[in-house]
Structure 1
Amino acid sequence: MSSHHPRIRLRKPNGVPIARDALSINFYMRHPHHELAPRLIQSIERYRRAMGSEVLGDYSYEGCGWEELNDSGWERIRQELLEVPCPILELKEITSGEQRYRLDYFGSYGALVGPPSEDPKTVCAVSFWLPTEYLEEHGPGQVRELALELAAPLPFGSGHAGFAFNTEHDLLYAKPELRKLCFLHPGMDAPRLSTLAMELGTKVRSASWLTFLGQPVLGELGGPAGLRSRLHSPDVTVQELEGERVVVTLGPWPEAGEDGRMPPAYRELARVLEPWLFHEQCLRDPTLTPEELRRWERRLLD
């Protein structure tokens, strides 16, 4: 097991969980939702089979409250994913009280309401979440294989998988203890999926343990051969996937980092990807200064 795996269990004074260490697997797609829907359902079914059908217990569609995720709930999800033009879907575990397993999706180029947007910055975005206990029990090889299975049906432009903070999006930066952990463990992501769905476009989120690259970025890097020629760190692999796509793997285990430091391979990949890395333009969190945001976004570069 990697020595750079922090155990994070933050709770409110009343015991309600605030944040925990986790793994997230994320993909971003520049395709209208109606084209993606059947493929997305395939990925969701693969995640459900891998985790067990009983793991996810509640779902929310368009943010309209939570309902039990029974057989009829699954059928409704499939139907609405196929028929609704711009869905927002959230699935969560309820048995542990910590939402260790989650799935979030923003569809139709990230449009929250109304018809699909033609804005070149918007994407369809999906996140699959696992607890770090899954990694400890099954090992990184199985996590990597799961990420590849989830990726296979999806025509992603980019994606990433690695350690992340499992918390409510608005809580992460607002809590001083969480903000401190962001800089102590630069390998732990804090994806705000709604923001990325609206703004990512053809940019790349970050350099991660698993970094998925498709078009146009992979082509601009010179394809798989061009990308390989720029990466020299040991234990880095570039695996070609169908559809002119690759996955870059940085070592056998994911790394969270310690005291602000990461293995050299992460910095090397980040510098290769720097011209295409995403920088958040509109601050939606008044507790976070632009300087803090830029420092965190460049944590693998500076």
Structure 2
Amino acid sequence: MTVNTYQRMQAYASISKNVDFIEGVTPEGVVLVRLGLICTVYFRQGGQSDVGHKVLGCFERFVEQFGEHLQGQFHDFSGRGFTSLRKDSITKAKEKLSKLVDAGLAFEWTLQSEKNGERAAEYSIQAMTAHAERDPYGVLSYVKIVLPWERLETPEGEQQFLDWVRYLCQTLDIDHGYAGLACTLPYDRHQFQPYEFQIAQRYSGLMVDSAPHMDLAELQDGIKGVNWLTLLGPRYIEKLGGMAALKQRLQLPDIGLQETNNGRLIIQAGLLPDVGAPESGHPPAYVAVNRVLKSIRVSNPDQLHTCMDDAEGFTKTNTLAWYARFDDVPLPDESAEQTIPVGKRCEAGQPCPESGTWWTPAKENAQRYFEQGEQMPDFPDSVYGSTIWYLQCE
């Protein structure tokens, strides 16, 4: 079956037309800053050996899928900064980190597609875990992955990313997290954070995520905000009235919901992520989700960047403004909502949102006509993971 490229081109046109502005390239062609597809998850009990080994398992899975792209690594016990990957570098690093995990010690590890920390990587996975002694105090750990945004060009690439999000939610029993587009910086990010700041002022749909380790303390009792995918664990779901009530409140145009088998909720705002370009306005789906989740957001966040003034980076004042960027944006009035086109994407088990011919990459030649309201079939043993159906253009 052929992917309907035209339909997907329409959906991600707002991304591609802004990439040249978002990415920072030197005259020599070195990419210092790039648009990336990111997922960052925060979780507790990172100092416990079973959780630590699950984190290492995330790295193993990442290497299995994207190892051909990886060239450099950083870990906190080497004392040498970034090192190029050799034949057995990853194996040796994992052996050493496993000993730290067994001892209940914290660790930091980054694998990426650049050999050093001076260029923005297309592919990376990084983690920072807590010391076991700090676990009783609710200290958070995190894992972050970065992939090229171009993976959204095909349903297969999108599904691979969505499978990663679900995998992280379930494997690490996350507290909360987010996924979508971000201005990704080199590992040695400090001199490039003014660029991230300027881009974030222009594109409201981008997540500011160059330093997730800086957010670990303040995000113990609140989420960072909404993005294309907003990920919630049980305690935040309960704060919002419970799973059933929250799902009911999120029955909104262009919003998708997926519950994991360990009680996490993945909230999807829009068919694909939206950069929120000024000529298009704030992404309406992001604004709608923000309105529902605002009460669990961090109320008094610390600044997103360090040692900056108001013109160069995120200080305390403009950090507060960035967190609240969707708060006072009016939703479309009732008549306008009726003109919003129905979704062109539907998860298995959900009612078909629009009559027409639908297809899914989860099973070869699985193309057929569905009536509106008809339940979409599931193929749970598919190698693609979750079954997602797409409406075929006429």
Aligned with residue 215 of structure 1, among 234, 242, 245: 234
User: Could you tell me whether the CA contact under 8 Å between 2:41 and 2:168 is conserved in 1?
Assistant: no
- Letter of the 1:4 counterpart: S
Deviation at 1:226, TM superposition (A): 1.5
1:219 positional shift: 1.6
**Are residues 1:181 and 2:181 paired?**
no
3-state SS of paired residue (1:233): coil
Aligned counterpart for 1:269 among listed residues 289, 308, 321: 289
Q: How does 1:12-161 map to 2 (within 5 A)?
A: 12=26, 15-33=29-47, 34-51=49-66, 53-62=67-76, 64-84=80-100, 85-94=105-114, 98-108=120-130, 116-117=133-134, 120=137, 122-137=139-154, 138-161=156-179
Q: Please list the CA deviations of residues 72-106 of structure 1 after superposition, one character each: whole Å capped at 9, or x if unmatched.
A: 22222322332221101111112796411111211
Residue 207 of structure 1: CA displacement? 0.8
Q: Say if 2:228 is the partner of 1:197.
A: no
Q: Which amino acid aligns with 1:19?
A: V
Whether the 8 Å contact between 1:86 and 1:116 is mirrored in structure 2 is no
Matching residue of 1:285: 307
Structure 1 residues 127 and 267, CA gap change in structure 2 (3 angstroms): same
1:300 matched to 2:321 = no
SS at match of 2:143: strand
Larger Rg: 2
Cα distance between partner residues in 1 of 2:73 and 2:198: 32
Identity %: 23
CA distance in 1, matches of 2:50, 2:218: 20
Query: Residues 137-182 of structure 1: CA distance to partner in whole angstroms, max 9, x if unpaired?
Result: 544333212322333311101111100011144245423xx42321
Cα distance in structure 2, aligned partners of 1:170 and 1:295 = 21
1:97-139 CA-to-partner distances (Å, cap 9, x unmatched) read 6411111211116xxxxx7435846310111001112222544
1:170 paired residue number: 190
Long gaps (5+) in structure 1: 110-114
User: Which letter does structure 2 place at the counterpart of 1:299?
Assistant: R
Deviates more, 1:9-18 or 1:288-297: 9-18
State the one-letter code of the partner of 1:204. Answer: I
Maintained 8 Å contact 2:166/2:260:
no
- Larger RCO: Structure 1 or Structure 2 (Cα < 8 Å, ≥ 6 residues apart)? 1
Q: TM-score, normalised by structure 1?
A: 0.87
| TM-score scaled by length of structure 2 | 0.68
CA distance in 2, matches of 1:9, 1:280: 27
Q: Distance in 2 between matches of 1:146 and 1:289?
A: 33
CA displacement 1:230-282 (0-9 Å, x = unmatched): 12322212211122211111122111111072332211211222122134225
Cα deviation, residue 70, structure 1? 3.6
Contact in 2 for aligned 1:157/1:202 (Cα 8 Å): no
Aligned to 2:250: 231
Partner SS state of residue 117, structure 1: helix
Q: Please report how far the alpha carbon of residue 16 of structure 1 lies from its aligned counterpart in structure 2 after TM superposition.
A: 4.0
Counterpart CA distance in 2 for 1:56 and 1:242 is: 31
8 Å CA contact 1:202, 1:217 repeated in 2: no
AA aligned to 2:96 is E
Distance, in Å, in 2 between the alignment partners of 1:174 and 1:211 is 26
Equivalent-residue separation in structure 1 for 2:158 and 2:182 (angstroms): 15
Q: Conserved in 2, the CA contact under 8 Å of 1:121 and 1:200?
A: no
User: Letter of the aligned partner of 1:55 in structure 2?
Assistant: H
- State how many pairs are aligned: 294
Greater mean alpha carbon deviation, residues 287-296 or residues 204-213: 287-296
SS at match of 2:326: coil
Asked if the contact 1:26–1:128 (Cα under 8 Å) also holds between the matched residues in 2, the reply is: yes
The answer (yes or no) to whether the contact 1:102–1:128 under 8 Å persists in 2 is yes
**Aligned-partner residue type, residue 195 of structure 1:** M
